Amino acid sequence: MNESDSTPRIGQIVLINKGRDAGQFAVIIQHIDERFVLIADGDKRKFDSPKKKNIQHLKCYNYVSTEVRDSIKEANRVTNGKLRWALGKFVEEVKDVLEKGDGFDGERGCN
């Protein structure tokens, strides 16, 4: 699968737009096909029971957690703690950028 700007990537942070978890952040942990991915947040959605989501129901951010990506590539899994840590780090970085008034330009569509 080619990693163009519109292709969701393993370790990428997403915002859920549709469904019960709308408004929450998660991390892409696996590609199923061109329409679906598996996401987890390490809290409500653990790595061992991820949520299958249509990429059209997600807002992808131009932010990939290298720690999560590398862990999945090396061990074929990631700890729930690392997922929570990656999401917390992302939220802190976005908050810092917004507080400085620079504007956050890391949003882009998944499709």
For 36-90, write each residue's pLDDT tens digit. Answer: 999 999 999 999 999 999 999 999 999 999 999 999 999 999 999 999 999 999 9
pLDDT of res. 5: 53
Q: pLDDT higher for 109 or 40? A: 40
Q: Is 9 helix (H, G, I), strand (E, B) or coil?
A: coil
In the chain, where the domains are located = 12-100
Residue appearing with tokens 């780090």: 89
Q: Is the pLDDT of residue 2 over 50?
A: no
Kindly indicate whether the domain formed by 12-100 is annotated with CATH number 2.30.30.140. yes
- CB-CB contact of 25 with 12 (8 Å): no
* Type of residue at 39: I
pTM for the whole thing?
0.86
